[in-house]
Amino acid sequence: MRQIATGDQAAFAALYQALEGPTLRFIRSKMNDPHEANDILHEVFMEVWRSAGKFEGRSMVRTWVFGIAYRKTVDAFRKRGKVETRDELPEQIDPADAADMTLNARQEAVHLKSCLNGLSEEQRLAISLAYFEDMTYDEIAEVAGVPAGTVKSRVFHAKKLLAACMRSRIERAAT
């Protein structure tokens, strides 16, 4: 980051190559339109380029970049008048679309994905960062700009919902 702050374009290109994929996946997890996601990715890295001098090294570079991506994505939603503030909990995830089938690994994966999609935006964000990026709860808290306790609360409820959804699907598949 120090090199980038001095205007080193090669260092910036190397950072982009290292973080382009994870950052884009993170943006796409909140944004359905892949072209809009690409636009946001561009804006994120332009801000990284402009703000590299402000990076104080108190967090990992990846966490800092993801934090910028998070804010840019939220801004994009705001501009569209679609502010995602939902953090209330769905009572349960509807497993109604589970097909009757015995559960093998592949089908389990499909069920998991479906259950994951039933989580609230913020719960899914926490789980995505935990399992796509193997982030700690402190890192997730930094990305989302919330206290660590809030992240723990979100993953607690997410885990409860995921477990209930999966058990329900397994029971359906078994009958």
Task: Spell 120-147 as b/e; 16+ CB within 10 A means b.
Answer: bebbbbbbbbbeebebebebbbbbbebe
Residue that the structure tokens 């993953």 belong to? 155
Q: Minimum distance from CB of 28 to another protein (Å)?
A: 6
Instruction: Give the Cα separation of 40 and 27 in Å (integer).
Output: 8
Q: Minimum distance from CB of 155 to another protein (Å)?
A: 4
Pick 18 or 99: Cβ nearer another protein: 18
The encoded tokens of residue 38 equal 């690409």
Q: Minimum distance from CB of 55 to another protein (Å)?
A: 16
Q: Minimum distance from CB of 94 to another protein (Å)?
A: 18
User: By the 8 A CB rule, do 165 and 95 touch?
Assistant: yes
User: By the 8 A CB rule, do 15 and 21 touch?
Assistant: no
Residue 150, classed as helix, strand or coil, is: helix
Pick 127 or 143: Cβ nearer another protein: 127
Residue that the structure tokens 């995830």 belong to? 93
Q: Which residues bind another protein (CB under 8 A)?
A: 7, 9, 12-13, 16-17, 20-22, 24-25, 28, 34-36, 38-39, 41-43, 45-46, 49-50, 76, 108-109, 112-113, 116, 127-128, 130-132, 134-137, 152-153, 155-156, 158-160, 162-163, 166
Q: Minimum distance from CB of 105 to another protein (Å)?
A: 8
Pick 64 or 154: Cβ nearer another protein: 154
DSSP letter at 53 equals G
Pick 83 or 109: Cβ nearer another protein: 109
The 10 Å Cβ neighbour count of residue 105 is 6
